[in-house]
Amino acid sequence: MIFLKTEEETALLREANQLVGRTLAEVAKLIKPGVTTAYLSQVAEEFIRDNGATPTFKGFPNQDGSPFPAALCTSVNDMVIHGIPNDEPLKDGDIVSVDCGTYLNGYCGDSAYTFCVGEVAPDVRQLLKVTKEALYKGIGNAVAGRRLGDIGSAVQSHCEGYGYGVVREFVGHGIGREMHEDPAVPNYGRRGTGTLLKKGMCIAIEPMITMGKRNIAMKEDGWGIVTVDHKPAAHFEHTVAVLAGKAEILSSFDYIDEVLGKREF
Ligand code: MG
Ligand code: MG
């Protein structure tokens, strides 16, 4: 069942999601060669708790019911999503996708950004740029009266136009009191098909895009999702409210932009 949100509920979702944006910016300040993802997650968790929220991901169960152990998902290079933070230092030329969730005043925030670590190869930087562009093309279709397939089609056509792979097995989602609500929001699809978008729907749009083939596999830890060909993958995510005419982006990369400035990719 899809829950349509009132303006009051949307305001609460905005608060939770703005906190995610500020948390990702705290992480952005620290990303450089030598830093561990475990440290990034620790800093993020402290920041989230200092702001009166809890990290939604920590303790979130996977299919077997085992809890995710950290506040952030940190997915390096060929890892697409759901990386468990660890003590391995980031290296010059890596990319790291950081996904963050908050729970604040009964509502969830969810947003992700893929960062460069030091000097990253131009073809990998292009993957990040195109994936981020695809996210905004998807958001451009998150408008009342359009359909879910319009979002997926916009993301898919942009990325496949560059020869990239679009992950099928994991998708965006409705969001509200629960982190994952209906509907599923695929990053692929056909225009004019799928669920009709209505004012008040709040959804997380999150392209997961691979530089090579789109095939993925799960790591032995039961969480990390990697590309089978071990080529890099990017992940950008915003939580948005569907409105008439134009979506409102409830999360924000503005805080990240303030930290990264011109160094974006
Ligand atoms: Mg997320
Ligand atoms: Mg999400």
Separation of CA 241 and ligand 2 centre (Å):
14
Pair of tokens at residue 148: 């879910």
Cα(253) to ligand 1 centroid in Å equals 14
Which pLDDT belongs to residue 64? Answer: 87
* CA of 207 relative to ligand 2 center, distance in Å: 10
Q: 112 alpha carbon to ligand 1 midpoint, in Å?
A: 5
Residues 168-189: what's their mean pLDDT? Answer: 98
Q: What is the number of other CB atoms lying within 10 angstroms of the CB of residue 8?
A: 8
Give yes or no for a contact between 182 and 1, defined as CB atoms under 8 angstroms apart.
Answer: yes
pLDDT value of residue 11: 98
Q: 1 C-alpha to center of ligand 2: Å?
A: 18
What are the DSSP calls for 179-245, one per residue?
Answer: SSEEEEE-S---TT-SSBP-TT-EEEE--EEESS---EEE-TTSS-EEETT---EEE-BEEEE-BSS
Q: For residue 59, report the distance from its CA to the centre of ligand 1, in Å.
A: 15
Q: Identify the nearest ligand to the CA of 74 by its number.
A: 1
The pLDDT confidence band at residue 262, using thresholds 50, 70 and 90, is confident
Rounded to the nearest angstrom, the distance between the alpha carbon of 239 and the centre of ligand 2 is 8
> pLDDT value at position 264?
72
- Closest ligand to C-alpha of residue 81 is 1
Q: Ligand 1 centroid vs 195 CA: distance in angstroms?
A: 22
pTM for this entry: 0.98
Decide: helix, strand or coil at residue 94: coil
Closest ligand (CA of 57): 1
pLDDT in tens, 51-89: 999 999 999 998 889 999 999 999 999 999 999 999 999
Per residue in 110-141, pLDDT tens?
999 999 999 999 999 999 999 999 999 999 99
User: How far does residue 257's CA lie from ligand 1's centre (Å)?
Assistant: 19
The stretch 173-194 carries a mean pLDDT of: 98
Show the tokens assigned to 255: 């805080």
What's the pLDDT at 197? 98
CA of residue 81 to ligand 1 center, whole Å:
9
Q: Which ligand is nearest to the CA of 171?
A: 2
Ligand 1 center–CA 212 separation, angstroms: 22
Tens of pLDDT, residue by residue over 81-109, are 999 999 999 999 999 999 999 999 999 99
